[in-house]
Every structure is written in C-alpha cells, then in structure tokens.
Structure 1
Amino acid sequence: MFPPHSISRFRVPPSHLSLYLIAGAASFSTLAILRTWRRSQALGSEKPAATPPPQATVLPQLSAEAVQQLPYPPDALPGARDVDSPCGTTRVYEWGPEDGRKVLLIHGISTPSIALADLAHRLVAKGYRVMLFDLFGRGYSAAPNPAIHRYDSALYGSQILICLQSSPIPWTSCTLVGYSLGGAIAADFTSYFPHLIEGLVLVACGGLIRTNHITWKSKLLYSTSGLLPEWLIERLVAKRLWSGPEVARTIEPEPDMEAENLNDDEAKGGLRSHAVYTSSRLCLLSGNSHSTVSNVVDWQILHHKGFVPAFISSIRYAPIHNQHHRWRIIAQDIQNGVGRLKEVRLVLGETDPIIIADELVEDVGKIFREQDVKVKIVPDAGHEVPIDRAEEIVSVVEEVHR
C-alpha cells in the first residue's frame, strides 16, 4: 500500500480511472472475503456464515395486509433490491434521476435505512440520485456471524463497495452522508477510497467520540474478556435497547456517567441527561403510523435474530472511537490534492447528548486546517438531527455541490 502522500506522484488517465477504481474495490472485497473464509475454516462448518434477514424468515408467514402494517415494510422505499455476497444479502434502495449528482446515505447503529427516508426523498426532489442500504444485521440485510467476521472497518467497507457495484449505473464518484455510526463508517471509507468521494457530510457522527464517555457498565457489557457469557450479553443488550409500548429508552451508546446524574431541571435545560430520541414517536415513513423509531428498533429485536449480535459487534469493533489516524489521512489527502474531496462538512445537534458538539469541533480542529472543514450546529437539535431536521442536511449537501 502506498502512503497517502505518494499517490499524487502518479497520473492516471481519466479514461482508465473507472477501471482502476473497480479493480481496487474488487481487491478490497476479495481480502475481506478471504478473511471470512479463514475464520470460518478455523471455527468449523457447523457455524452459519450469516443469519438470514426477516424477508427469508418472518415475512413468508404474514399476510399481505400484515406486511403493510409492519413498522418497516419491505417496499418502504423505491428502487429496492437485495444484493447477494459471500457475507450475506444487503437490502439496497436506489432512485432519482439517473443523471443527477449521486448521494450515498449511511444510517446509524440501531435504526435501518428508513431513518433517513425523509432526507432521501428531499434530496431526490432536488434532482439527486440517492442510494441507501441497511447495514449488515439491520432491517432487511443479513447478519454475518460475528464469530466469523467482526463488524469492523473491513466488513462495512466491503458492504459499501458491494452496494455501489450493484447499481445499474456507474457510481464512480458520489457524496457520502453518514449519520452517527454511519458517519464513522463514511469517514473511514473516505480515508481508504478518496478517489470515489467528492463530498463528505458527517451528521452527529462517531469516529472521535472521547472514551471517557464510556461508562463502566458499557465497558463491562461490551467486553470481550469472557467475564460475561455471550448469551447473557445479548440478553442484557436487547433489554437495554427495548423500547416497549410506553417508554423510549436509549438506542445509541450511553452518554457519560456524570450526565446521567443530572436533575430534572438541568435535563429540561437542554443539558446531557439520557440519550433518548426525542423523535421516538415520530413516524419515519410518511403514511405509516407504525414506523416510529421505537417500533422499528423493537421490531428488529423481535424478528431479526442477527440484530443484537450485530449491534454488539459494532460497538466492539466499528470505527467509533480513536479514529484520529484515519481522519488525519483525509486531512492530508485534502491538503495534498489526493482524490476529489475539497472539504469535510460536519452537521451537529446543539443538544446532542452522545456527540458533544464542542468536543468534536475541538478535536477536528486539531486534525484539519480551518479552511478544510465547515461546521453547522443545528439549534435545539439532539442526536436525531437528520430525522427531525432533514432540511438542514439537504442545504449542506447543496452547498457541497455549488
């Protein structure tokens, strides 16, 4: 692998660029698949490669009317397709003008792609071609066995490449919009494939979350030390994620312990209390009163057996914390003119209890030059900013393409 600063010494003819991009993507995917094969050989053939998604297990047992009453029906968004791969199938949605600027949206750790449905529809109305997909283990995507394949940079990077190559039209460049975990994945992907990315919009993103915000309970719960058996960890995490009919609990990693001890008056003042979605009762799909954030998460717990293991493995191995080294590569690439990206856009919620705006701005300022990153802090918005305030994200995407 050449160091990032040396790539600029090479001059690739534009007519050959797409071929090289496809070849590089294929090599990356091949390495990830080989890693999966080696682990599966070591563990033995009795381990399933992936947990099938609900359309292969639950939907065949439901009537057409019952399917439409689901919080996340299989025809929720236009342009649906299931893309097969050695890691399992991925649910992809793609629509909008074929000649429009291309935008790939990546959702967060708990809610599948429909969390960004409003944003996607707004972008298409502006003339963009959009693609969304369910991360492995969420929604209608299969869940690779975490005992064989960690939910890390390699797995998620491979999934993005699989989605891009499945399109009937070329996706040789696009703007990435990543939310929460999706933002961490988007930044990580950009650091490896700068020639594919012309715009990077990170919304309430992970990647640089300070580790002092990890509670001792979370450290114990997601530990790989073996102190707790995996079956117990899965049960405890499912209980933590479960919303139920009355209460909306946290559906993202917990905030710091000090924030949890704030009194009611401080919490009402907008300070960090619990990482609860204020939009937990907001419908993600127009015309579907069942499609609340709470209902969608609970539906995955009940009907996607790979969801909770995928969540746990993502907390353990996804590029959520301490990714300064990968973000520095993006900064260096921008500074040295490597790839298409000119600047990074951050969109943060003013009252977000998970991604603390002031902290992230400070940490990003130590990595990027001032002119290479632009920050938009949305007033009175929490972690759910792309759900509640999708129009704010649209305006940033439009600025990227001006």
Structure 2
Amino acid sequence: MTWVLILVAVVLAAPFLREALRPRMGAQARQSAPGQFAELSQGVTHYIWQGPENGPVVVLVHGLTTPAFVWGGVAEGLVEQGYRVLSYDLYGRGYSDRPGGAQNRAFFLRQLQDLLKDQGVADGFTLVGYSMGGAISAAFAAAHPGRAGGLILLAPAGTEPLLDPTARFVRGVPVLGDWLMLTRFPSGHRKATEAERDLPTSVPGIVDLQQAELRWRGFIPAVLSSLRHMLGQVQEEDHRAIAASGLPVLAIWGAEDVTIPIRAKAAVERWNPAAQHVVVAGAGHGVTYTHTGEVMAAMQAFLAES
C-alpha cells in the first residue's frame, strides 16, 4: 500500500517538477532576440519596431500560444506599404517575462498601455489583434475610445465561451486542472502545430518556433491562466461600445477555422453592424501566416479607406 501511495505521489508531482526544472527566460536567452526590451510595471516586455520612423503606426497583438514572430509576413507587408509597425510578446510568451497573477483583461491591457506609454505612441494608431490578441485589442479599444484610429481583428476570440471539454475542465478545476494542463498540453500543442507543417507560411520555421516555446518555464502556466481568465469572457459589451464610438473595424476570418469557428462572425455582425468582414476561403486558424497575401489585401483596402 505504501508503494502505491508513493507511486501516486510521484505521478502527481512529476508534471510540476518538470515545469520547475524548465529554464527561465532571462538575459542569456534574450541575447539572440531581435528588437528591444522595456522594463514595464509588470516586468520586461520584448518589442520590435519595423518600418519608416515617420510612417503611420500599426500595433500588432498576438494570440494565446504564438509570440510576436507570428506577425513576420504581415509586418513585412505593412512595412512595404510605408507603415511603422510595433509588435511585442505578451507576458508568458516569447522573450517577455513570466509574471504571476491572473492573466485577465486588466493584466493584458496594463501591458499594452505601459508599452504604448513607454514608446511614446500617440493616439490614432491602428490596432491589430489575432485570436486572443483580438480579444485584447477589442477590450483596449472599448476601454480607451479615441486612442486607436482603426481596429483590425483576425480570427478574434471573445465571441463565445470555450466549448472544448478539456479546456473547460482545466479552466474550472484548480490543482487537478493544472496537473492535466502540464501533462496533456505539450503533446497536444505539438500535434496541433505539426498538422500545419506542410502548409504555406510567411513565417519560416513557424512550427519549430511554436514548439520551442514549450521548453521555457512559465509558458504553459501562462496559457492556462489566459484560458481561465482572458478567454473566459464573452465580449458583447466591448463590441457594442466600439460600435457606439464609431471606430472603423475590420474582422478577418478563416473559413475552415475550428478554433474560432466562422459562426463567430455572426456575433460580431450582431454587436457591431458597421464592422467590415472578410472571409478567407480555405484558411484555418493560422490565417495570419498561412494566407498572408489575402490578409494583407484586406488590410490594405481597409487602411486606405480609413
């Protein structure tokens, strides 16, 4: 009986020990990072400026699991059009710090506000959010009317609660949910990203880059915290507030997206009838980097009109 209890204890402790033994994101790892770093109120944030210094500013906010490198093709396209592009790693991802606490609306808005202030970004910039970054961007635009001059949402989260049973479980059950997340998420993440290995991409090596995030301490807990907090919201009030403010909005959707299904488009249409929509045929949730040409065409038309 004693050996059974010991075995159970080892099985339960193993994922937490494995997480504790992962390397920290710190100065040595950051030596190879592009861009720069800002000491903000919640920790170090990695950011990258690209494009002409006098160009109109576009700020890019990435999603749940893929850091700022996801914007490679989009940022390049915007720079070619003369825009000044700012991208950054959300806390818990990429080269940014892994602070504790709930990764909720206030947490992510504070990081974005801190960065904009630190970099002296004036009002009137275009805010672009992908997946969870779309939820963050919509929340920011609703909370700070007049700051952004335009809002572009790519496969945005925030239109419906999480429906996946495993995601609901890990989000709703403390400790055991943490154990399951640490146990199951790495293999699930690898499987999901491997499924895209043969797809066209504007970000060279994106599958390997995505999987490399798993080696750093704090990445999986950050994803879990975002699932429990930021992605637990349905953002009807935000979208209705954006509609009332008159802010121009473009939403781009992948027709074959199973993460943010195309049915989410109907919710945004209902909450903000003035928003423009583009559906990219054949695109899944990776629309930002698998169908960059179509995304850029839609963004270019919207930006010219705005």
Give TM-score, length-normalised by structure 2: 0.84
Of 275, 292, 304, 2:206 maps to: 292
Measured against aligned partners, the alpha-carbon deviations of 1:369-391 in whole angstroms (never above 9, x if no partner) come to 3xx11110011111111101222
For residues 225-279 of structure 1, give each alpha carbon's deviation from its aligned partner in whole angstroms, at most 9, with x where no partner exists: 33616345323323322x1xxxxx236xxxxxxxxxxxxxxxxxxxxxxxx7535
Q: Counterpart of 1:362 in 2: which secondary structure?
A: helix
Please give the per-residue CA displacement for 1:202-241, whole angstroms capped at 9, x wherever unaligned.
Answer: 00110103x3x61322222222x33616345323323322
> Are 1:74 and 2:25 an aligned pair?
no
Equivalent residue pairs, number: 283
User: Residue 103 of structure 1 contacts residue 129 of structure 1 at CA under 8 Å; is this kept in 2?
Assistant: yes
Q: Which residue of 1 aligns with 2:9?
A: none
Question: Cα deviations across residues 302-357 of structure 1 (Å, max 9, x unaligned)?
Answer: 1x2011110000111014541112211111222xxxxxx2x211101111112221
Q: In structure 2, the residue corresponding to 1:383 is in which secondary structure?
A: coil
**Candidates 291, 306, 309, aligned match of 2:221:** 309
Amino acid at match of 1:130: V
RMSD: 2.3
Q: How does 1:169-208 map to 2 (within 5 A)?
A: 170-208=121-159
More displaced, 172-181 or 360-369?
Answer: 360-369
Instruction: Give me the whole-angstrom Cα distance separating, in 2, the residues matched to 1:137 and 1:173.
Output: 28
Which residue pairs with 2:25 in the alignment? Answer: 54
Cα distance in 1 for partners of 2:57, 2:302 equals: 12
Superposition misfits of 4+ residues, deviation over 4 angstroms? 57-60, 279-286
Alpha-carbon separation, structure 2, partners of 1:119 and 1:198: 19
Give the structure 2 partner of residue 221 of structure 1. 170
Tell me what 1:344 maps to: 249
**1:48-74 CA distance string (max 9 Å, x none):** xxx9963435467xxxxxxxxxxxx51
- What does 1:386-397 correspond to in 2, within 5 Å? 386-397=288-299
How far 1:198 sits from its partner (Å)?
A: 0.7
Q: Deviations over 1:7-44 (max 9, x none)?
A: xxxxxxxxxxxxxxxxxxxxxxxxxxxxxxxxxxxxxx
The whole-number CA distance in structure 2 between the counterparts of 1:353 and 1:378 is 14
- Aligned CA distance change for structure 1 residues 91 and 52 (closer, same or farther; 3 Å): farther
Counterpart of 1:155 in structure 2 is 107
Q: How does 1:7-156 map to 2 (within 5 A)?
A: 54-56=25-27, 58=29, 73-75=32-34, 80-145=35-100, 149-156=101-108
Counterpart residue identity of residue 300, structure 2:
E
Matched residues in 1 for 2:199 and 2:292: separation? 16
Unaligned runs of 5+ residues in structure 1 are 1-50, 61-72, 244-248, 252-275, 335-340
1:91 CA displacement = 0.3
- Distance change in 2, residues 1:83/1:282 (3 Å): farther
Q: Select 1:327's aligned residue among 216, 229, 239.
A: 239
Q: Deviations for 1:136-169, whole angstroms, at most 9, x for unmatched residues?
A: 0101001111xxx2111111101111221222x5
Pairing partner for 1:365 from 248, 262, 269: 269
Among 168, 178, 183, which residue is 1:235 paired with? 183
Letter in 1 for 2:59: L
Give unmatched runs, 5+ long, in structure 2: 1-21
**Residues 106 and 132 in structure 1, CA contact (< 8 A), matched pair in contact too:** yes
Is the Cα contact below 8 Å between 2:159 and 2:234 reproduced in 1?
yes
The structure with the largest alpha-carbon Rg is 1
Q: Verify the 8 A CA contact 1:204 1:355 in the aligned structure 2.
A: yes
